[in-house]
Structure 1
Amino acid sequence: MTVHGVPEGLAAERVTRRAGGRLIVDGITLAPRPGSTVGLLGPNGSGKSTLLRLLSGVLAPAAGVVTLDGVPLPRLGRRTTARRLAVVDQHATTQVELTVRDVVALGRVPHRRPWSGGTPEDERAIEDALARTSLTDRADQSWHTLSGGERQRAHIARALAQAPRELLLDEPTNHLDIQHQLDLLTLIAGLPVTTVIALHDLNLAAMFCDEILVLKEGRAYAHGTPADVITEPLIAEVYGVRTRVTPPDPADPLDHPSVRFLRS
């Protein structure tokens, strides 16, 4: 979407990234509709995590550009970008002894002046993020004593406390049981933000994503709605496995493709 000819929100234009002498991300263009949920699919090594780091500004593209409202990320600066865009990495960790509340409160740092204390707005954002991720009763517990799934939810709460307009998540359902996977993705898909989320589970992507970008060897292999993208031929070509895909019921706008994997 554009406003007066300027792209609105987060956009990547033909971004490329090299590492170890090879292309990790090769000329990918992505401009999510504001408020939509875009899933990144592809096997390990296809470039999903690297693309997310390019979109966040953590990595600089070798070619191409990532923009927010038409402005390249380097021109905006890290602090301004952090007020707009939150990131949940796949393996976020810390050696510092922090409570869950401390971790979530880190999301408010971009909104504070240097050396200033918390505000009532900060406290409301922290409490709301804890409640949304079902961590209120863990707020004063050490982050290091949490299970893997609880740690992941704490980092998602930190991102929510940041009050972003764009949210990037790298396989956030790792370490979560089925109920928390569904609860988390229901929460994320219902947020009034633009979300780009890397996933491995094709059925979860079909259920919760408005659009899907499939990566293969660093390139955009397919891009479209779940019904357009999640097909037996595509899964065989990209993942090398046999499946049976049940297409969505045209009479049910909430229905989605369903994938059943077959033994070789």
Structure 2
Amino acid sequence: MNDRETAVAGRPAPPAPSPGGEGGLRAERVGRLAGGRLVVDGVTLAPRPGETVGLLGPNGSGKSTLLRLLSGVLAPSAGVVVLDGRPLGRTARRTVARRVAVVEQHANTSTDLRVRDVVALGRIPHRRPWTPVSAADGAAVAAALEATGLTGMADRSWHTLSGGERQRAQIARALAQEPGELLLDEPTNHLDIQYQLDLMELVVGLPVTTVIAMHDLNLAAMYCDRLLVLRGGRAVAEGTPREVLTPALIGEVYGVRAEVAQGPGHPVIRFLRQAPARPGGAR
């Protein structure tokens, strides 16, 4: 998607890439072994500054593992993840934590924290141990609460929030880190449709580069600039939603029949029932 298409879609144009193309977070032919099996196999991903990249694929395709490699939680068995041209494994953890924020599928705590306290956890990478909260910390938390529509809930207990409100609080915590890159692992799972749409509108409007693992193909088509489709740990397709989401690709990767129409600015997928079995087992 070019700058003009982005503006038409109602989103701010992404910032220009850094000189030489060395900026940002990239995975270069990364692989990851688990239990003697390659769960990610030679995947390359280089998000452009400011864009939203959707990771698609069935369960077990390697989406969550790839996100953990990008965040530095896991180290690749092959290949390299780099941040601004420097291997992530040779970059200080505090530096990575200031630049790369992660929102997991589920977050919970037995401690009775206020929403404001949860969001303030995002400031930990910016503070030295045992130092008091600074004016910059307070401003970052306030800005994150406002950006996610949680200012009025700042003093509520975490345990009183709905699923959608908890996800917004986690995104606010990530924003308080003031990251350049945001990684989200299926953040719309188990949310009502309204909360799914609200959450995606929030995410794509943020001034960060975003990589988001998703199951819902229609949400991915509506909100992502580019898609990377995984199957069995390998990348099988990459491109815009219009380029990637075809009936053939959906059938190959997900094993289902689908029709794809072109909606206003993005594809619309309609899944078809499987053909009923005929007597004798023929179809």
Question: Same fold, TM exceeding 0.5?
Answer: yes
1:142 and 1:2 map into 2 onto residues whose CA distance is 40
Identity %, equivalent residues: 70
- Residues 1:255 and 2:265 aligned together: yes
Q: Which runs of 5+ in 1 are unaligned?
A: 249-253
The more displaced of 152-161 and 225-234 is 152-161
Partner residue of 2:71 out of 38, 56, 77: 56
The aligned residue for residue 101 of structure 2 is: 86
Contact 2:17 2:49 in 1 (8 A): no
2:83 and 2:191 map into 1 onto residues whose CA distance is 31
The one-letter amino acid paired with 1:78 is R
SS in 1 for 2:227: strand
Contact 1:149 1:174 in 2 (8 A): no
SS in 2 for 1:117: coil
Query: TM-score when scaled to structure 2?
Result: 0.87
The CA RMSD over aligned residues, in Å, is 1.6
1:200 and 1:179 map into 2 onto residues whose CA distance is 17
Give per-residue Cα distances to partners, 1:126-181, cap 9 Å, x unaligned.
Answer: 12212222222221122123222222211111001111100000011123222222
Contact 1:36 1:210 in 2 (8 A): yes
- Residues 1:125 and 2:140 aligned together: yes
Please say which structure displays the higher CA radius of gyration: 2
The aligned residue for residue 39 of structure 2 is: 24
- Residues 1:156 and 2:205 aligned together: no
Query: TM-score when scaled to structure 1?
Result: 0.93
Moved beyond 4 Å, runs of 4+: 1-6
Change (3 A) 1:4 1:256: closer
- Residues 1:243 and 2:253 aligned together: no
- Residues 1:141 and 2:156 aligned together: yes
Contact 1:107 1:159 in 2 (8 A): yes
The one-letter amino acid paired with 2:269 is V
Give per-residue Cα distances to partners, 1:53-90, cap 9 Å, x unaligned.
Answer: 00000000001110111001121121110111100011
The aligned residue for residue 208 of structure 2 is: 193
Q: Which runs of 5+ in 2 are unaligned?
A: 1-15, 275-283
The aligned residue for residue 280 of structure 2 is: none
The more displaced of 121-130 and 162-171 is 121-130
